[in-house]
Structure 1
Amino acid sequence: MPLNLKNNLAVVSILLASFAYPVLASAAPEQVRVVDRPELKTLNSNYVSFRAPLLPQSFIKLPVGSIQPEGWVRKYLELQQDGLTGHLGEISAWLEKKNNAWLTTGGDHGWEEVPYWLKGYGNLAYMLNDPKMIAETKVWIEGAFASRQPDGYFGPINERDGRRELWAQMIMLWCLQSYYEYSHDQRVIDLMTNYFKWQMTVPDNQLLKDYWENSRGGDNLISIYWLYNRTGDSFLLKLAEKIHRNTANWTQPTSLPNWHNVNIAQCFREPATYYMQTGDSALLKASYNVHHLIRRTFGQVPGGMFGADENARLGYIDPRQGVETCGLVEQMASDELMLCMTGDPLWAEHCEEVAFNSYPAAVMPDFKALRYITCPNHTISDSENHHRY
């Protein structure tokens, strides 16, 4: 799996956009009181939330662009706009349009890197209402639309042992969801519906068998629920069952399917996501367990993260171990999703801890450079190899 752009530094703009809205409708005045989390007696009808039989969300992520950032938040986004996020297309070979896998049938590069970058770049464009960035975003979105096939499949074709690898599509689905929230383009709903119908035709022994897609099937699951909440198509709940049973098992009490730091930060939320359909509290407990399990041994990184470099390894638990930049932003995304699903302030506090402590140490103040792995005792940051062990 190419790692050149897997830092997905642009995703932070998504995270800053994910303002949570409590699922409480206006009611008669009540006495002010303190609660552990929002009550769910009354559902919010002003914004799209989880549709029955899915459990109600405690918080709702507002549509991208519905909040106009001001103050320090706007300045933060403008730094990204002027930094690597906003200008990566000018310097990255992976975003070269000629023969790009998202713009050309049989293209030979960019299949994963484009949606990773676009995931944040597009949200940044919508939030700042930047015409140039919106136009650039649409080039890639239109490429996704143009890639649709009669059977419902879309995007680059990467086959492994005769099976189609679907990880890049999972990322692009999130890009399309944000685009729909901004534009209400019906083509997004049609593409996703037809693509998920195609997924229903794929036999279990050919679905999500490659390492990355198998670990990260929870991202596919979130997109299924996103679409179900808007269309109510019942087949989507059957597909959710199929995706869950073919995704890596993140419910093990004392071990993990793999120890890659980004996978852990990104995938521990999958059981809790599926809990929203089943109501099985063991699934919700499993996500909490993974969060605490990895930190009991490898939680040597101040700011809420864990020391894993690329992979958490027994015996490597001291402050020399760091965390990838993409692990930081995926952890923040997971924290936000867990907050929406559970209402537990633990996740808001943890997201804040990472966002204001670990993440700033990974990037330069002007957002024009980053370090791939950030360690607590990383006293020198340059292009040289200071490896001593």
Structure 2
Amino acid sequence: MRKNALLAIVCSAVLPVSAQRPTVGAIRWDAYQGIGPYNDVVAHSLAPEKYRWRAPWFTEVRADGTLSIDGGKTGVMEREIDYAAGAGLDYWAFVMYNPAPEVGLSRGIELYLKAPNRHRIDFAVIIHAHKALTAKEWPTERDRWISYFADGQYVKTPSGRPLVYVLNMPVNWLDDFKAHARTAGYHPYYVQISGGWEHGGIRDVKPGGDAVGSYASFADKAMTFVEFAAQSRARYWEKPAKAGLDVVPAVTTGWEKSPRKDYPPFWELGQSYFTQAGFPACPTPAEIAEHLSESLKFVRDNPKSCPADTVLMYAWNEHDEGGWLCPTWTPDGKPDTSRLDAVRRVLHPSTSLVLETKPPIAGTEMAVREQPRPAAMSVLPDGAVQAQAWLRHQLELQRDGLTGHAEDLYDDIGSSDWLTGAGRGGQYAWERGPYYAKGLVALALALDDAALKAKAKRWVDAILASQRPNGDFGPRARNWWANMIALWLVRDWCAATDDPRVPPFLERYFAFQAEELKRYTLADESKWAMARGADELDVVLWLHVRTGKKELEAFARLLSGQIADWSTYYHRGGDPSKAGCRSHIVNFMQGVKAPPLQWRVDGDPRRRDAYAAAFAPEGWIMKSFGRPDRMVNGSEPLSSRSASEGTELCAIAERILSNQVALGVWGDAAIGDDLETVAYNTLPATLAPDGHGMRYYNLLNLPHCVDGPYGFVNNGEKVGSLCPGGAAHRR
């Protein structure tokens, strides 16, 4: 997120700052999160009164004079975000460590990613082969770090490349990281900050290529900060630029390491600074501001040497090592924000330091993002992966059973207005036909079965041919919900066959709907459309990726704003009908895909943990309606946890599909685990072994399935019915 600034006023010197200044990042070394041995060491080194003023603002002084420094306490990260964003910082660069509790240095980024106000500041990573990272752990950590690139708030260079800082990485690990990043579809911009470019260790850095900088600035003797800053400028900005290297200027906030010299940390034993007679003086806030202002001017004056258009400040929170911006502890409990105040006067000269913990508000600068955020994974088209063995046999049973013969068994499918155009109306013109065709298309493509594909193509052809001159289509005008199902199936068909008719068909319909939704909303048509609108949003985002057309971005925002607020419902509950969500079990499962897709549009951080909230064992939903198979009981409204209650087959199928979408957006393996649990356990128990029948409700306690009532009634008497009817099937 880039902020605008008109003037930078530092110590009476007026330096013009362009409307789009270089971005400014700050390093985070998170030893101040209340856990691990590193936290114990920094708390010990800052405990003496002569150093206590350097401790972070959330420090607590115990009665015995020792310090408790716990940045993991509730609300601390949110306020740190507010401090940093209010001062004008654009991003934090987190030093990467494996998340083991015995290390304790990954808690900062974990808290940041969960913070409700993190939209206020972006992030990058400093990939780092620290001593606690083993070769066995490396692949897991490598993949975790690469996964961050998919986050909409990950920092990119002006050319769109993820910004990656490299600190003390072995050559083989760095090469491996680069290879896997390329495989994942990324081309990061690597900035080598391993102790300064002149000390070697720089690979694949050349003029016009990747860049150099420095984690910190170093000095082996006492000097004023002004002298230290000038040395840093010459060493880490001017020298590499003159050598033809790309540069990310390192902006120092100090290197006064007396606390560590007095109380040596276990990870730096034997280093040369223990014998130094002195260190550079701690800077005044004005000196920090002047140095920062000079770095911005250097980037503006040297665009060819600084294509990343950014500077990196050392540091947000290296309190005991000598460099920090984070507000600090005071005896009266009021944080000392003087350093951030000085930074703000450079980056946001017309504002005061404002703390804000509210989520983004539509229409504000923070909330607006033109292009949708990318998903973590790319979804392969149906048929790209061919099933084998048991799984293929299950698909063939569907082909030879209900799916392959539904048009003969059900008149409102075989004679659907969607297929025939006969105009019979009612159920013939609503969801049943396209719902069936949606599964038919997927099955035909998955099996690459010529007969099934011919049958599926009849539905696709009929839907595409039904489009009217105004862009609307289907047997009824403004049939928002039923049309969503049809949109999904023609999209799937196009993704696999590259049918050239589909993209213009979708564009015409979305253009029509963009105008109609302003006066006839999803809620006006039905609460079904409002609750299930993410099904259409998925197609809109797919088309945007395919075509890149700007009008689809605006339409995605319009559509997303009319979809039920499932994020709030999964977190807090309440009366779902008031939010348009309904307590209907199928709506509930279709809604699972809404938060990740809406996050791609608006970046609202609440949406990131909506899935976890919905299915957390201790959450209100699973406590009230949850099952051991990770499903939720509903017949059809959400019902109790009783083993004699059931869940719909429709809900099971929609849960699998919604999990597929959520997994694609977040890349969270736990969502895939749930998908497999439902697909390989709950779904087979709801289908007849030969594929010729199904049970409308799946009950956990149902040793004998018969066509009759089960003591709860909603969708008619035969709530446990075997479709299309016939002899009972034993479970």
- 1: CA distance between counterparts of 2:411 and 2:628? 34
Look up the match of 2:402: 84
1:95 has 2:413 as partner: yes
Corresponding letter in the other structure for 1:179: W
Mapping 1:250-265, distance limit 5 Å: 250-252=566-568, 253-255=571-573, 256=576, 257-265=581-589
How many pairs does the alignment contain? 347
TM-score (normalised: structure 2):
0.45
Look up the match of 1:135: 454
Look up the match of 1:202: 516
Mapping 1:184-333, distance limit 5 Å: 184-209=498-523, 210-252=526-568, 253-255=571-573, 256=576, 257-292=581-616, 293-299=620-626, 301-313=627-639, 316-333=640-657
Corresponding letter in the other structure for 2:472: Y
- 2: CA distance between counterparts of 1:62 and 1:127? 11
**Deviation of the 1:175 alpha carbon:** 0.8
Contact preservation (8 Å) 2:656, 2:675: yes
Look up the match of 1:181: 495
Of 255-264 and 280-289, deviating more is: 280-289
Look up the match of 2:152: none
Which SS does the other structure have where 1:268 is aligned?
Answer: helix
Contact preservation (8 Å) 1:102, 1:110: no
TM-score (normalised: structure 1):
0.83
Contact preservation (8 Å) 1:270, 1:287: no
- 2: CA distance between counterparts of 1:116 and 1:359? 18
**Deviation of the 1:268 alpha carbon:** 2.6
Cα separation, partners in 2 of 1:205 and 1:296, compared to 1, 3 Å = farther
Look up the match of 2:60: none
**Deviation of the 1:380 alpha carbon:** 2.5
- Between Structure 1 and Structure 2, the one with more helix by share is 1
Which SS does the other structure have where 2:378 is aligned?
Answer: strand
Greater RCO, 1 or 2 (C-alpha within 8 Å, sep 6+): 1
Of 217-226 and 262-271, deviating more is: 262-271
**Deviation of the 1:317 alpha carbon:** 3.0
Contact preservation (8 Å) 1:321, 1:375: yes
1:334 to 640, 650, 658: 658
The CA deviation string for residues 313-340 of structure 1, in whole angstroms up to 9 with x for no partner, is 4xx3321211000101111111111111
Corresponding letter in the other structure for 1:74: R
- 1: CA distance between counterparts of 2:597 and 2:481? 18
Cα separation, partners in 2 of 1:114 and 1:44, compared to 1, 3 Å = farther
- 1: CA distance between counterparts of 2:504 and 2:591? 27
Cα separation, partners in 2 of 1:55 and 1:327, compared to 1, 3 Å = same
Corresponding letter in the other structure for 1:307: N
1:33 to 132, 139, 147: 139
Corresponding letter in the other structure for 2:423: G
Identity, % of aligned pairs?
A: 29
- 2: CA distance between counterparts of 1:149 and 1:321? 45
Contact preservation (8 Å) 1:250, 1:290: no
Corresponding letter in the other structure for 1:304: R
1:365 has 2:689 as partner: yes
Look up the match of 1:15: none
The structure having more radius of gyration, on CA atoms, is 2
- 2: CA distance between counterparts of 1:307 and 1:45? 38
Unaligned residue ranges in structure 2 (runs of 5+): 1-134, 150-161, 163-180, 186-369, 714-731
- 1: CA distance between counterparts of 2:507 and 2:611? 28
- 2: CA distance between counterparts of 1:225 and 1:68? 26
Cα separation, partners in 2 of 1:218 and 1:277, compared to 1, 3 Å = same
- Between Structure 1 and Structure 2, the one with more strand by share is 2
Corresponding letter in the other structure for 1:104: G
- 1: CA distance between counterparts of 2:381 and 2:641? 40
Corresponding letter in the other structure for 2:646: G
Look up the match of 1:61: 379
The CA deviation string for residues 89-132 of structure 1, in whole angstroms up to 9 with x for no partner, is 121111223x6244316342153111111111112112222221
Look up the match of 1:383: 707
Of 233-242 and 376-385, deviating more is: 376-385
